[in-house]
Amino acid sequence: GIKTPVKQPTDGKPLAVDNRTYNRLLRGLRWQGERGFAILVGRWKALRRTTISPRRIGDVVAAALHLTHFEYKHLTGSC
């Protein structure tokens, strides 16, 4: 499911420690997905503007992800 961060109270009080920790954990997970998406879109021109159906885009993104993983392994010499 989609998790949303806890908003700051309107009365100006700081968030509780549990809520701040929850928001920090969400932020830590979100940056990884955003970074991965940026790498894929930056590397694969086909993903920038696509008119493919939503049912098939998952296959295209999965293929781009596998190729990118292969490329990065090859470039770092860890193959």
Residue 1 CA to residue 20 CA, distance in Å, equals 20
Amino acid 67 reads L
What does the pLDDT look like over 36-45, one tens digit per residue? 888 888 888 8
pLDDT at residue 11 is higher than 50: yes
Q: Is the pLDDT of residue 73 over 60?
A: yes
Count of beta carbons in the 10 Å neighbourhood of residue 71 = 11
Q: Evaluate if residue 14 carries a pLDDT over 80.
A: yes
> In whole numbers, what is the pLDDT of the chain averaged over residues?
85
Q: What is the pLDDT of residue 79?
A: 46
pLDDT value at residue 60: 87
Q: Name, in order, each residue with C-beta under 8 angstroms of 46's C-beta and a sequence gap of 6 or more.
A: 60, 64
Nearest residue to 69 via CA among 2, 29, 61: 61
Structure tokens of 53? 């159906």
